[in-house]
């Protein structure tokens, strides 16, 4: 009997002691494990990022007066969105040069000045590509299929950039700010008139004449003009000056000044092309340098005429 009870006693003694809970001080709170909050869905993060970028660009666009930072940010957004169109008329290096021009323009003259340059670029690119195959067959087309490089961009905008810098840093004081704006518009009117007259003359000019002697010469000859190209160039200058008026950059009388200055400057550019360009001792005088001289003449003439009118009226 005693022997039979031993296993039972052993089994009872071998049971583990009951667990006891540690007593907590009165008032203590038990920390419960909480699951981490669910991660935000990826679309929500993307939407927040897009909203932030949109708000930043809106602030940059509406900054008045524009700052260098707002000009660079806004211009970057425009160039990214419009890159397919821009690269159709610009090489990669020309694209970079145009970005610098756009940033400077926005900083100096805000959206109106920027839109003026956009109008110049759209019309200039369109006429450059007009009948491009015919021009290439004649050997008078722009290189790279009409896509402009950095030299062309700088040559077309150097005078406008100087006017923009003078406006930003108040060259001559606030009294001259209107003159720099006028010079800026006149320089691009001059260049667009030159581009349109040249490209229309190459594409549609029946007869081209050397500006110095009026002798008939082949299309694309330096210093050559045509009736079709000349008329188209005048209309282009009137068009861009009118855009400047609608954008509040010039007044009605200054439209006339821009058109007159552009035509005088274009005649001077043709004369330089006929008498000096490609001549011995002037091998350095390439198209880009001639373009700088051309637009500089247009801007300077416009500023001088405006000053003369102010002097006479006072």
The radius of gyration of the chain's CA atoms, rounded to the nearest angstrom, is 36
- Helices 42-62 & 68-81 angle (0-180, nearest 10): 120
CA distances from 67 to 80, 109, 111, 113, 163 (A): 20, 11, 12, 14, 17
The pTM score is 0.79
Inter-residue contact 105 to 160 (CB < 8 Å): yes
pLDDT tens for the chain, 314 residues: list them: 444 444 544 444 455 555 555 555 555 555 565 666 555 555 655 555 455 455 555 555 556 678 899 899 998 998 898 888 888 888 888 889 999 999 999 999 999 999 999 999 999 989 988 888 888 787 777 776 667 888 888 888 999 999 999 999 988 888 789 999 999 999 999 999 999 999 998 888 888 889 888 899 888 788 889 999 999 999 999 999 999 999 999 999 999 999 999 999 999 999 998 898 878 888 888 888 999 999 999 999 999 999 999 888 87
DSSP category for residue 65: S
Half-sphere exposure of residue 22, counting CA atoms within 13 Å on the CB side? Answer: 4
Report the candidate in 141, 32, 143 with the shortest Cα–Cα distance to residue 93. 143
What six digits make up the tokens of 130?
Answer: 């007009």
User: Two tokens at 258?
Assistant: 């821009």
Please count the CA atoms within 13 angstroms of the CA of 12 that sit on its side-chain side.
5
Closest to 108 (Cα-Cα) out of 192, 61, 169: 169
Cα atoms in the 13 Å half-sphere on the side-chain side of 210: 12
């Amino acid at each position: 009997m005693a022997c039979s009870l031993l296993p039972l006693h052993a089994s009872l003694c071998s049971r583990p002691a009951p667990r006891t809970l540690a007593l907590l001080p009165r008032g203590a709170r038990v920390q419960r494990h909480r699951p981490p909050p669910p991660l935000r869905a990826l679309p929500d993060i993307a939407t927040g990022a897009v909203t932030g970028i949109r708000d930043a660009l809106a602030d940059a666009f509406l900054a008045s007066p524009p700052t260098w930072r707002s000009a660079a940010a806004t211009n970057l957004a425009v160039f990214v969105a419009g890159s397919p169109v821009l690269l159709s008329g610009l090489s990669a290096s020309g694209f970079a040069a145009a970005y610098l021009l756009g940033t400077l323009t926005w900083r100096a003259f805000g959206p109106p000045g920027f839109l003026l340059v956009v109008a110049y670029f759209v019309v200039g690119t369109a006429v450059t590509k007009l009948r491009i195959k015919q021009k290439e067959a004649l050997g008078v087309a722009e290189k790279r299929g009409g896509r402009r490089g950095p030299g062309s961009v700088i040559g077309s905008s150097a005078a406008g950039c100087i006017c923009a810098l003078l406006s930003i840093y108040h060259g001559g004081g606030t009294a001259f700010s209107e003159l720099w704006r006028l010079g800026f518009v006149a320089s691009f009117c001059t260049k667009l008139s030159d581009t349109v007259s040249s490209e229309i003359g190459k594409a549609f000019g029946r007869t081209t004449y050397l500006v110095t002697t009026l002798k008939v010469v082949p299309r694309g000859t330096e210093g050559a003009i045509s009736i079709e190209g000349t008329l188209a160039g005048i209309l282009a200058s009137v068009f861009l000056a009118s855009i400047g008026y609608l954008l509040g950059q010039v007044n009605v009388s200054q439209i006339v000044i821009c058109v007159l200055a552009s035509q005088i400057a274009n005649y001077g550019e043709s004369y330089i092309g006929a008498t000096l360009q490609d001549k011995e001792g002037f091998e350095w005088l390439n198209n880009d340098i001639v373009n700088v001289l051309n637009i500089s003449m247009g801007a300077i003439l416009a500023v001088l005429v405006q000053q003369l009118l102010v002097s006479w009226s006072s």
